[in-house]
Amino acid sequence: MPFEAIASAFLAAAPSLTFRRSVAGLPLPSQPPSSFLPRHLPVRALMKRNPKRLKYSAPRFFKKSEAMVYVEMDPLGSETWRLEPVIELIKEGAVGVIPTDTVYAIVCDLRSYSSIERLRRIKDIENKKPLSILCHSFQDIDKYTVGFPRGDGRGQTNIFRTVKHCLPGPYTFILPATKELPKQCIKSGRTARYESRKHVGVRMPNDSICQAILQNLDEPLVSTSVKWPSEDQWMLDPVIIADTYEPEGLDFVVDGGVRVADPSTVVDMTGKYPTIIRQGKGPKLEWMIVEGEDYGGGPSELPFPQVA
Q: Can you give the C-alpha Rg of the chain in angstroms?
A: 21
According to the model, what pLDDT value does residue 185 have?
Answer: 84
Q: Are 86 and 68 in contact (CB under 8 A)?
A: no
Q: Are 135 and 203 in contact (CB under 8 A)?
A: yes
d(CA 16, CA 24): 15
Question: How much is the mean pLDDT over the chain?
Answer: 77
According to the model, what pLDDT value does residue 3 have?
Answer: 53
Q: Mind listing the pLDDT tens digit for each residue in 12-68?
A: 544 443 434 444 444 444 444 443 334 433 333 333 344 333 333 456 665 555 679
| Contacts (Cβ under 8 Å, ≥6 apart) of 240 | 43, 45
Q: Mind listing the pLDDT tens digit for each residue in 246-301?
A: 998 999 999 999 999 999 999 999 988 899 999 999 999 999 999 877 665 554 44
d(CA 137, CA 261): 25
Task: Tell me which of 262 and 125 has the higher pLDDT.
Answer: 262
User: Which residue, among 50, 95, 91, has the nearest Cα to 228 in the 3D structure?
Assistant: 50
Q: Mind listing the pLDDT tens digit for each residue in 67-114?
A: 799 999 998 878 899 999 999 999 999 999 999 999 999 999 999 999
Count CA atoms closer than 13 A to 162's CA, side-chain side.
Answer: 18
